[in-house]
Structure 1
Amino acid sequence: MFNDRLRSARIFRGYTLQKTADALGLSLRAIQKYEGGEREPNLSLLVEMADFFDVPTDFLLGRDVYLCSLGVSVDVPPEGPPRRPKPQKSP
């Protein structure tokens, strides 16, 4: 879920993968791995990401019920546009 929320926030805010990587001091490949679900950030990076995208950390973590219980709304949709299908490898 984190990877989808991260991608959604990035796209909604109009940032490219490279701009996001540069702003967070990460490599392009690192951001791709976070969005692809291959990696998860440590706590300090999670906070930096939330600050950069101007969303609560709970949004990135998918804690919607908790946010709603506090009356917090987020302007970023939980799911971004559909992903492109990965190319099929030939046998």
Structure 2
Amino acid sequence: MEIKRLRDLREDHDKTQQELADYLNMHRSVYRRYESGERETPVWIVDKLADYYHVSTDYLLGRTDDPAQPKRK
């Protein structure tokens, strides 16, 4: 996971770690570990955050600099 990108998205959307933790139904300290890179981010969280921020999972993972989500069929 692109750690800086995750933090930047949260800050750009004026969200707190607590708000994201609530959205993901977890304790803030767990979310903080994902954002800081202390803990590997599970696929289901990457998927939910991509939907939340309206970006592609590849963007979150740092595989592309294009945040656009692919069109779904």
Shorter-chain-normalised TM-score: which range? 0.7 to 0.9
List runs of 5+ in structure 1 lacking aligned partners.
68-72, 76-91
Amino acid at match of 1:47: D
Choose from 59, 62, 67 the match for 1:74: 67
Distance 2:27 2:54 in 1: 21
Runs of 4+ deviating beyond 2 Å: none
- TM-score norm. by structure 1 comes to 0.66
Distance 1:45 1:35 in 2: 11
Larger Rg: 1
List runs of 5+ in structure 2 lacking aligned partners.
69-73
Correspondences of 1:1-91 after superposition (within 5 Å) = 2-64=2-64, 73-74=66-67
Distance 2:51 2:36 in 1: 21
